[in-house]
Every structure is written in C-alpha cells, then in structure tokens.
Structure 1
C-alpha cells in the first residue's frame, strides 16, 4: 500500500466521529479549552502504545488470542461507559472559567482520560495492526517507514483533537452553547455509553 494512500486512510480514521471525538468535545464543553487540549494530548500520546506493540508484533499476538483481546475489549467498553455515566450525571449549565484553580489540578487527570480512552480501544488496535502489516518489512527501511507513519499519526491526532477543543471553546461557539451546554454534555455522555455498549456486545 502506497504511503499516500496510508496517509489519506489515517486522516479519514482520525476525523471520523468516535469515542475520542466525543470525549474531547465533552471535556471542552464541560471544563473549557485547556481541558479539551489536554484530553487531546492524552489521546495523541496513546498512539505511541499502538505503534510500539504493532512494531514489536505484540498487537498481532493479542489480536489472535481471544482471551486477551476480549479482556482489552471489555476494559475499554467499561471505561467508556464509566466516562459516559459520569458525564451525564455531572453535567452543568455553568460554563467553565478558563484557568481556574480546580481545572489546573485536573489537567493530568484529563490527559489520562484521553490516553485510556484511546489506548483501550480494540478497534484502534486492530487498525494499527492491519496498517503496520502493510508498512513494516524485515529491512531497516521498513522500520523507518513504520516509525515515520507512526509519527504522522501522533501529530495528526494531536492537531485534529486540539482543533476540536479550540473550535468548541471559541467565544462565538461558547455563546451558542450556553443555552444547551447541559443537554449537550448529557448527549455526549449517552454517546460514550453507547460506544461502550456496542463495543462490549460486538463480536
């Protein structure tokens, strides 16, 4: 598969709405721009996990081991449901104040949320395993191509999800969201629960 085709495929995968998008959206609306950006950085950091096990061949072994794959799948599903339920019941009509003390202390926690959301997603794991099987070859050039593509995916995730956080916390967007903030947070919560439930029941 040509690198250009892989680059376009990666872009489509990243911008396709999913659990990562909903989580960044929810955190941005609920806690402000910085919260969304740190969530986005956590998501992009998780890509290093997928790159590492794909290059080492561990991802393929896990994907072929039903028990291990099921464990990862249910852990990911449970975490999404937890985030969704929490987001639904802790939604608020009050817009976050940028840079408040409480938010500053939660930034690492928000990054960890993003990291776990992406790292525990078995769909992401299967995507990277399938893509890296096309990129990696036994020679040194193949390893360089895999690392190059991995770096591209990290940067792509960071740019896209930071952009989502910035757009949805812009002054014009904030003024529009003020009346529907709580309802939108609840919708994001329901969406995360739905993603988790579908992940759990899907074979």
Structure 2
C-alpha cells in the first residue's frame, strides 16, 4: 500500500466532485435514459481515466505533455465534442418545450428519451479521452505521492486504481441519487430547464477550451 494513499484519496475526492464536462454530460444523459444512462456514462468516463492512467504509468502521456501540437490537436477535438454535445442538449430542450405546449400533454410528467447503455458509455469515454488535462493530471499528480523508496510503476498504478475507484463510487452515488428523484427529472419544465442549462454549460466549456487554443496558438 502506498505510504501517501490517504492524502492522495482526499485530493482524488476533491478533484472528482469538482464540476466539469463529465458530470455535466452525466446530468444530460440522465434526462435521456434515467439513472442507468448516467451510470453507464460514468463507466465510460472511468474507462477513459483507466486509459489515461495506463498511458501515464508506462510513459506515453509524456508525448502529450511535451508535444504542443499533439496537446493542441486533442484539445481542439475535445472542444468540438463539447460544443456538439451542448448543441444537442439545446435541441433537446427545444423539443421538450414544444411537447410541453401540445394540448395532449398536462406538463406533469414525461418519460425520458431512450439512450442506450452503449451510447451513454461511448459518450462518457470520448468525453474523457478527449480531455488532455486528464493525461497531464495523472502525469504530474501521481509522482508527487510516490515515495523515494517505493517502486515507481507499481505505486503509480495503485494510486491510479485508487483514483478510478473514487470516480466509480462517485458515479454510483450520483446515479442512485438521480434515480431516486426521477419523478422530478421527468417533469417537462424541469427537463427543459436542465437540458438548457447543461447545454449552455457544455457550450461554454467548449468555447473556453477553443478560446485558450486560439489565445495560445496552435503550432
């Protein structure tokens, strides 16, 4: 067991619960497929964490950290993906609002759209894989908690697995929570508001990344 496991877990919890693209995507997908879709989105995100962690442990992430072109390319793809998801959410809000206005609907409840597990998983995986900050996070974070007398590769892998376990627990808890309030989530006014909010947040995140790319310049 790593000597610095406890402080690392505290930091991992703080990083995991901080709002970001992954949890925003999870909230969006919970509207379209309920708690199951949110959970599978989380599994996709955690799988992406596993890929980044593995790359960090074996040294592949060094390429991203040292190659400005590779880093900027991945950021550009990630920004485009966030913008696409955001616009999809806004379109979902428009559709929900139109349905609310139909005479046959009381506006009380509505079943969520069908979002399959594979689609939710794929979206979570892509959202995480296209975030180069995760790669840099593992590359810079893990060595800080590896003692001088500890085997670097094995200890880094153990810390990475602990980080992923924290993520899985967080997604399990949040999906249970949203599963328990599906009655509220299925109200069309709430769904329209949340779809609009998550869409705007995703677009804002995408534009923020795009702006930083433009500001820093692409080699």
TM norm structure 1: 0.87
State whether structure 2 residue 95 is matched by structure 1 residue 95: no
Q: Could you tell me which residue of structure 2 aligns to residue 187 of structure 1?
A: 197
Alignment equivalent of 1:18, drawn from 17, 20, 25: 20
Change (3 A) 1:95 1:182: farther
Is the contact between residue 28 and residue 198 of structure 2 (CA under 8 Å) also seen in structure 1? yes
Is the contact between residue 84 and residue 191 of structure 1 (CA under 8 Å) also seen in structure 2? yes
Is the contact between residue 4 and residue 146 of structure 2 (CA under 8 Å) also seen in structure 1? no
| CA-CA distance at 1:139 after TM superposition | 7.9
Is the contact between residue 50 and residue 125 of structure 1 (CA under 8 Å) also seen in structure 2? yes
Is the contact between residue 82 and residue 205 of structure 2 (CA under 8 Å) also seen in structure 1? yes
Alignment equivalent of 2:162, drawn from 152, 167, 183: 152
Q: Residues 1-203 of structure 1: matches in 2 within 5 Å?
A: 2-91=4-93, 92=96, 94-96=110-112, 102-103=114-115, 106-135=116-145, 141-170=151-180, 173-177=181-185, 178=187, 179-202=189-212, 203=216
Provide the aligned length of Structure 1 versus Structure 2: 195
Is the contact between residue 80 and residue 206 of structure 2 (CA under 8 Å) also seen in structure 1? yes
Change (3 A) 1:5 1:79: same
**Greater C-alpha radius of gyration:** 2
Structure 2 runs not aligned, ≥5 long: 101-109
Structure 1 runs not aligned, ≥5 long: none
TM norm structure 2: 0.81
Kindly report structure 1 stretches of 4+ aligned residues shifted beyond 6 Å: 137-140
